[in-house]
């Protein structure tokens, strides 16, 4: 291909090769520059530098506030990042320079190798398409805007907000006016129908697996020795439980306690020594506890002490373990490791919005901040669910944290302890303001007045082996609260249990290494749509129901459905984008796609057909 | 036994058959090896199809589904090459590669979860399918590069020995083959990236926002772009011809590492929590 055609004669003379250069020494320098900008070598170098820049731009978190950088990297490194613009790599001066250089290189390279043959279509298209895409990017950067606004149902807006980092590295919102207003007529949030799944968990191998729920199906849990047999399924089940005493030996001691006001029973129920062993009367600031002691000596000892333990948090990393008293906001450096922990907050009942004093210890939890090599992880740990962190994603999986001592900690103003031991010793202790005021033996069906309150306590019944007779009832045939009857089979033989989808607890196999959970897959969002109306000078000029993936376009602005009010579903989050560079970028995309297909598929095919070796 | 385990076993059998074929070089073993791999592919495809029917959405909403699909694409692309070029021993490693991908899938959480609204798009379908085909081709190129690097010290001896024997067993130019495979895969990668950008524009309002996933897919693209351009550069720098092919083969190993990092490793990045597209960060 010697037939070089070009619209720019100066360049043609330059590309004739080195022989002509020697004859014209005055042009040597400009030729050198031209060759430099034309070379593939430069292109490869620019691309490699871009690769490094891109890696840096994902390794260093981008566009955060100065405070966040200082907290993450320390002052020195944060300042360095700011000056080298590593905090905003992709919009930095040096990255822009790189892109300009690449663009120049692409243009020069294309001109130099221009042969105007059909086989070169792909080469020209791909190289110029990149220039187009970069040009489109510049148009977007110079004239485009992107922001968001929340609109409440029935309301309208004529502005939106854009986020910007100011000169001091602080996040700032800028209000931008729209040349029209957007009215939200209706917002619809559609949820997926609940689906349920049976998930198995093997503790020793830390593996979760979903099992098939099909009545009559026997299946082996993959990579384990456990088998699961689905025996029954009820789409809408209800559990009826009746307390029974299963034996006379004290396997699970429980007492039925009644609390009287003047004459009426104010509260009654079972207290289980091994589970729910207390009842709180808020009005009188009175707590009733049931404690089972292994011997009468132990009982006497317990009866004589107030027993006000402090809650503790224990931290374990592989074989190492240490217990710490719960002190808030004190950073504890863990020796021999790169971790430091801090207890930020605790609750007697997780998620309870009431003040701590009013909470009952139903679900005690501590919020722990773990500072490690990969940054800070905040994690809630629960006294009653010590394996919670094991079954949920955590950054520092090797750090195992549990807490205890919440349930026995809280002393009400008055505490009544019902103590009992296997040799028949029965003692009732009344503690008031942290002091023992009364110690008396108790008997079944006998009322005890609690001094200083107008309450009386009676132990009405005692079951040495408390158990439930459970019956599962079918409420309806609709899929509402499904339950499955599962037979577990493993190294310790078979066991059978009903699993309820509405239960929060896993059902463990005898060896405490294998558990099943039957749960809803979460009521995730299926669709969210906003019925929008564009109003100009009081006139509706456009209307559309937008959803994710389907925006409304008006006067160069595109309005996207981006989020929703997670609490009440009241407002719709809209994203508003104006990008005049889109046609340029999209034509670049088209050219790029067609170009690569041409180079790698069409051209080799044509070459084969022509049976000619055509060099680029 | 579940289909996934059967598929894994057939992959291993196919791999063994390819090795036996390399030793005996008979027509019978050739068809046994290819046949087994086709069977494995059918099983893998069944996995993909049953999964999408069961889940009610295209099977790439989480890492498990993507990996099963990835394994399927890898064999598919391999089989295309099997019938186009002389591939022989590559089949053994391609089968092992698919087997490893599928095995890695079995370690993932295979729970079916409802698909999020942004993923409900036809652009997403094209985007993922093209990307997976591209990745699969790069997987095969990775295999041929390894074979090239491993067999290079013996290549000359072999050539001498073979020329005396049948023509059928002529040595394969694994470095040229790698280039051809990358050239086959690169348009898919480009299409995947462009359709991804168009989809992002439709779903998030911006075709490119320097999200870590986007940035890394660009890094992958640039890595293979460098590979495609270096043969034009290195000879001019007076680098020895055999050294050029070694450098290129090593670069392909590195680039495939980048592919896998882009695909699965991004949750390890400190910027991952800012991304909307990374598996496991939700």
Distance from CA of B31 to the nearest CA of A (A): 28
For A589, which of B197, B204, B205 is closest by C-beta distance?
B197
Name the residue with higher pLDDT: A157 or A527. A157
Q: Are residues A519 and A529 in the same domain?
A: no
Facing A48 at nearest CB: one of B117, B205, B226 = B226
Residue-level length of chain A:
616
Task: Write the pLDDT tens digit of every residue in A97-147.
Answer: 999 999 999 999 999 988 888 889 999 999 999 999 999 999 999 999 989
| pLDDT single digits (tens) A181-239 | 999 999 888 877 777 888 888 888 877 888 888 888 888 887 788 999 999 999 888 88
Does a structural domain hold residue A304? no
Residue A288 has pLDDT above 50, yes or no: yes
Q: How far apart (Å, rounded) are the C-alpha atoms in residues B155 and B173?
A: 10
Q: B198 in contact with A at a CB cutoff of 8 Å? A: yes
For residues A124 and A26, membership in a common domain is answered with: yes
Closest-approach residue (CA) in chain B for A61 = B271
B183, B208, B229: residue with CB nearest A40: B229
Count the neighbouring beta carbons within 10 Å of the beta carbon of residue A448: 19
A113, with CB counted inside 10 A (0-12, 13-18, 19+), is middle
Which of A379, A404, A429 is the last residue in one of the domains? A404
**What's the pLDDT at A612?**
52
Mutate to test the interface with A, among B123, B187, B214, B271 (most CBs of A within 10 A): B187
CA-nearest residue to B280 within chain A is A393
Which has more pLDDT, A545 or B165?
A545
Three-state DSSP class for residue A2: coil
Q: Which of A65-79, B223-237, B251-265, B267-281 has the lowest mean pLDDT?
A: B267-281
What are the structural domain ranges in chain B?
Answer: 1-115, 138-282
| DSSP β-ladder status, A414-420 and A286-292 | parallel
User: Comparing C-alpha atoms, which of A66, A455, A390, A124 is closest to residue A258?
Assistant: A455
Least confident of A66-75, A233-242, A353-362, B96-105: A353-362
pLDDT tens, B27-46? 777 788 899 999 999 999 99
Residue A544 domain flag: yes
Instruction: Check residue A43 and give its pLDDT.
Output: 94
Residues B101-105: what's their mean pLDDT?
A: 92
The predicted model gives A359-366 an average pLDDT of: 79
Share of chain A above pLDDT 90, in %: 27
Q: Which chain B residue has its CA at the smallest distance from A190's CA?
A: B117
Is some CB atom of chain A closer than 8 A to the CB atom of B50?
A: no
Cβ of B64 under 8 Å from any chain A Cβ?
no
With beta carbons under 8 A apart, name residues in chain A contacting B201. 582
Residue A256 counted as domain residue: no
Q: Provide, as residue numbers in chain A, all residues whose Cβ is less than 8 Å from the Cβ of B200.
A: none
> Higher confidence at residue A404 or residue A259?
A259
Does the distance separating the beta carbons of B191 and A593 come in below 8 Å? yes
Residues A489 and A538 in one domain: no
Report the distance separating Cα A508 and Cα A492, nearest Å.
Answer: 12
B120 and A CB contact within 8 Å: yes
Assessment of whether the complete model's pTM goes beyond 0.90: no
Inter-chain residue contact B194 with A593, CB threshold 8 Å? yes
Cβ contact, residue pair B114, A62, below 8 Å: no
d(CA A577, CA A554): 11
Q: Phi, psi (5° rounding) for residue B253?
A: -60, -45
- How far apart CA A521 and CA B112 sit, in angstroms, is 8
Is residue A85's pLDDT more than 70? yes
Sequence-distant (≥ 6) Cβ neighbours of residue A189 within 8 angstroms: A525, A527, A528, A564, A569
B130 chain-A contacts, CB cut-off 8 A: none
B110–A199 CB contact, under 8 Å? no
Q: Does B79 touch chain A (CB under 8 A)?
A: no
Same domain, A32 and A57: yes
d(CA A475, CA A484): 14
Q: What is the mean pLDDT of residues A599-606?
A: 92
Q: Evaluate if residue B54 carries a pLDDT over 60.
A: yes
Distance from CA of B184 to the nearest CA of A (A): 7
| Chain B residues within 8 A of A601 when measuring between CB atoms | 187
Q: Specify the higher pLDDT residue, A386 or A582.
A: A582
Q: Do B111 and A521 touch (CB under 8 A)?
A: yes
Mean pLDDT, range B104-113, rounded to an integer? 82
Are A26 and A83 members of one domain? Answer: yes
d(CA A478, CA A235): 6
Closest partner residue to A577 among B205, B218, B226, by Cβ? Answer: B205
Whether the Cβ atoms of residue B113 and residue B61 lie closer than 8 Å to each other: yes
Q: Does residue A279 sit within a domain?
A: no
Confidence at residue B171, expressed as pLDDT on a 0 to 100 scale: 65
Q: Which residue of B has its CA nearest to A122?
A: B187
Q: Which of B106, B201, B226 sits opposite A222 (nearest CB)?
A: B106
| Of A112, A117, A142, A141, residue with least CA distance to A127 | A112
- Taking CB atoms and an 8 Å limit, are B187 and A597 in contact across chains? yes
Give the count of Cβ contacts less than 8 A between chain A and B.
135
Which residues in chain A have Cβ-Cβ distances shorter than 8 Å to B111?
A: 197, 199, 208, 210, 521
**Helix A121-143 and helix A582-597, axial crossing angle in degrees, nearest 10:** 160
Q: Which of B114, B190, B266 sits opposite A526 (nearest CB)?
A: B114
Q: What is the pLDDT of residue A566?
A: 73
Q: Can you spell out the DSSP letters for A490-540?
A: ETTEEEEEEEETT--SPEEPTTSSEEEEEEE----EEEEEEEEEEEETTEE
Across all residues in chain A, what is the average pLDDT?
Answer: 84
Q: Which of A55, A146, A521 is the closest to B205 by Cβ?
A: A146
Is residue A184 within 8 A of residue A569, CB to CB? The reply is no
Same domain, A62 and A28: yes
Contacts with B37 (C-beta within 8 Å, 6 or more apart), sequence order: B11, B14, B17, B18, B75, B78, B79, B82, B91, B94, B95
Q: Which residues of B touch A558 (CB under 8 A)?
A: 205
Residue A337 — very low, low, confident or very high, per pLDDT cuts 50/70/90? confident
Is B271 within 8 Å of A59 when comparing Cβ atoms?
yes
When pLDDT is cut at 50, 70 and 90, the band that residue A411 belongs to is: low
Rounded CA separation A336/A339 (Å)? 9
Closest residue of chain A to B105, computed from CA coordinates = A209
Q: Which residues of A touch B229 (CB under 8 A)?
A: 40, 43-44, 47
For chain A, the domain total comes to 4
What H or E segment, with its residue span, contains residue B13? Answer: helix B3-24
One domain for residues A218 and A238: yes
A333 with A382, same domain: the answer is yes
Confidence of residue A470 (pLDDT cuts 50, 70, 90): confident
Q: Are residues A563 and A594 in the same domain?
A: no
Q: What share of chain B is helix, strand, coil (3-state, %, to 5)?
A: 80, 0, 20
Give yes or no for B230 touching A (CB within 8 A): yes
Q: What is the span of the domain harbouring residue A106? A: 9-142+584-610
B208 and A137: CB-CB below 8 Å?
Answer: yes
Considering the domain architecture, whether residues A181 and A84 belong to the same structural domain is answered as no
In a shared domain, residues A538 and A602: no
Under 8 Å CB-to-CB from B165, ≥6 apart: which residues?
none
Same domain, A103 and A27: yes
Nearest CA in chain B to A576: B205
Could B210 and A62 be called an inter-chain contact, meaning their C-beta atoms sit closer than 8 Å?
A: yes
Q: Which of B63, B116, B117, B141 to mutate to test the interface with A (most CBs of A within 10 A)?
A: B117
- C-beta atoms of A522 and B205 within 8 A: no
What is the pLDDT at residue A309? Answer: 62
Q: Is B281 on the interface with A (CB under 8 A)?
A: no
- Kindly report the nearest CA distance between residue B271 and chain A, in angstroms: 5
Dist. CA A501–CA A478, nearest whole Å: 14
């Amino acid at each position: 291909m010697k037939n070089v055609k070009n619209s720019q004669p100066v360049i043609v003379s330059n590309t004739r090769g080195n022989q002509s250069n020697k004859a014209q020494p005055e042009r040597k320098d400009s030729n050198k520059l031209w060759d430099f900008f034309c070379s593939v070598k430069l292109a490869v170098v620019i691309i490699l530098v871009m690769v490094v820049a891109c890696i840096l731009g994902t390794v260093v978190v981008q566009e955060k506030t100065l405070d966040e950088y200082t907290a993450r990297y320390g002052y020195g490194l944060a300042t360095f990042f700011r000056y080298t613009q590593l905090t905003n790599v992709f919009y930095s001066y040096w990255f822009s320079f790189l892109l300009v250089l690449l663009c120049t290189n692409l243009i020069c390279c294309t001109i130099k190798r221009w042969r105007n043959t059909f086989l070169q279509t792909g080469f020209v298209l791909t190289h110029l398409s990149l220039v187009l895409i970069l040009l489109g990017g510049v148009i977007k950067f110079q004239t485009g805007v992107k922001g968001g606004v929340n609109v409440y149902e029935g309301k309208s807006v004529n502005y939106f907000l854009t986020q910007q980092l100011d000169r001091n590295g602080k996040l700032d919102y800028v209000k931008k006016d729209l040349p029209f207003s957007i009215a939200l007529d209706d917002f619809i949030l559609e949820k997926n129908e609940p689906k349920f799944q049976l998930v198995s968990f093997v503790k020793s191998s830390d593996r979760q697996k979903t099992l098939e729920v099909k009545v009559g199906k026997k299946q082996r849990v993959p990579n384990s020795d456990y088998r699961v047999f689905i025996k029954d399924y009820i789409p809408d089940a209800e559990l009826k439980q009746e307390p029974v005493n299963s034996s006379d030996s004290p396997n699970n001691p429980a007492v039925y306690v009644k609390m009287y006001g003047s004459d009426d029973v104010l509260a009654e129920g079972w207290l289980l020594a091994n589970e729910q062993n207390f009842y709180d009367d808020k009005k009188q600031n009175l707590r009733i506890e049931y404690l089972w002691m292994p011997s009468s000596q132990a009982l006497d000892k317990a009866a004589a002490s107030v027993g006000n333990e402090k809650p503790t948090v224990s931290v374990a990393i592989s074989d190492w373990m240490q217990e710490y008293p719960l002190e808030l906001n004190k950073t504890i450096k863990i020796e021999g490791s790169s971790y430091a922990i801090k207890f930020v907050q605790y609750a007697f009942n997780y998620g309870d919005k009431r003040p701590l004093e009013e909470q009952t210890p139903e679900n005690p939890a501590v919020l722990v901040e773990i500072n490690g090599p990969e940054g800070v992880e905040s994690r809630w740990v629960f006294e009653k669910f010590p394996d919670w962190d094991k079954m949920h994603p955590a950054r520092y999986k090797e750090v195992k944290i549990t807490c205890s001592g919440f349930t026995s900690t809280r002393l009400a103003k008055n505490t009544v302890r019902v103590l009992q031991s296997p040799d028949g010793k029965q003692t009732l202790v009344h503690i008031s303001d942290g002091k023992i005021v009364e110690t008396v033996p108790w008997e079944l069906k006998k009322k005890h007045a609690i001094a200083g309150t107008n309450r009386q306590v009676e132990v009405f019944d005692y079951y040495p082996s408390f158990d439930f007779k459970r019956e599962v009832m079918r409420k309806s045939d609709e899929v509402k609260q499904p339950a499955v009857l599962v037979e577990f089979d493993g190294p310790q033989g078979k066991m059978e249990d009903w699993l309820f989808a509405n239960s929060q607890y896993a059902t463990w196999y005898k060896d405490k290494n294998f558990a099943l959970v039957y749960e809803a897959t979460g009521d995730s969002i299926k669709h969210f749509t906003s019925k929008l109306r564009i109003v100009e000078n009081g006139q509706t000029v456009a209307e559309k129901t937008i959803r994710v993936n389907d925006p409304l376009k008006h006067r160069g602005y595109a309005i996207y459905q981006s989020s929703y009010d997670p609490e009440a579903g009241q407002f719709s989050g809209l994203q508003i984008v104006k990008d005049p560079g889109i046609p340029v970028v999209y034509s670049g995309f088209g050219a790029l796609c067609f170009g690569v297909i041409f180079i790698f598929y069409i051209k080799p095919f044509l070459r084969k057909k022509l049976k000619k070796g055509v060099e680029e | 036994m579940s289909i996934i385990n059967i598929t894994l076993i057939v992959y291993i059998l196919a791999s063994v058959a390819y090795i036996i074929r390399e030793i005996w070089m008979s027509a019978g073993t050739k068809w046994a090896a290819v046949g087994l791999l086709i069977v494995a592919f059918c099983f893998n495809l069944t996995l993909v199809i049953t999964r999408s029917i069961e889940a009610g959405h295209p099977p790439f909403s989480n890492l498990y589904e993507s990996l099963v699909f990835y394994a399927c694409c890898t064999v598919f692309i391999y089989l295309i090459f099997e019938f186009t070029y002389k591939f022989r021993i590559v089949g053994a490693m391609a089968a092992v590669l698919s087997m490893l991908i599928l095995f890695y899938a079995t370690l993932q959480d295979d729970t079916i979860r409802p698909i999020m609204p942004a993923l409900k798009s036809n652009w997403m379908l094209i985007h993922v399918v093209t990307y997976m085909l591209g990745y699969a081709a790069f997987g095969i190129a990775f295999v041929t590069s390894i074979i090239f690097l491993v067999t290079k010290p013996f290549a000359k001896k072999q050539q001498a020995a073979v020329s005396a024997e049948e023509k059928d067993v002529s040595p394969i130019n694994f470095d040229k083959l790698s280039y051809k495979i990358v050239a086959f895969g690169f348009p898919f990668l480009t299409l995947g990236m462009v359709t991804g950008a168009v989809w992002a524009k439709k779903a998030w309002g911006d075709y490119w926002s320097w999200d870590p996933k986007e940035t890394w897919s660009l890094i992958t693209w640039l890595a293979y772009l460098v590979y495609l351009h270096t043969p034009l550069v290195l000879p001019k720098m007076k680098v020895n011809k055999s050294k050029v092919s070694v450098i290129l083969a090593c670069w392909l190993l590195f680039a495939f590492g980048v592919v896998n990092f882009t695909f699965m490793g991004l949750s390890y990045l400190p910027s991952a929590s800012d991304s909307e597209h990374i598996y496991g960060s939700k």
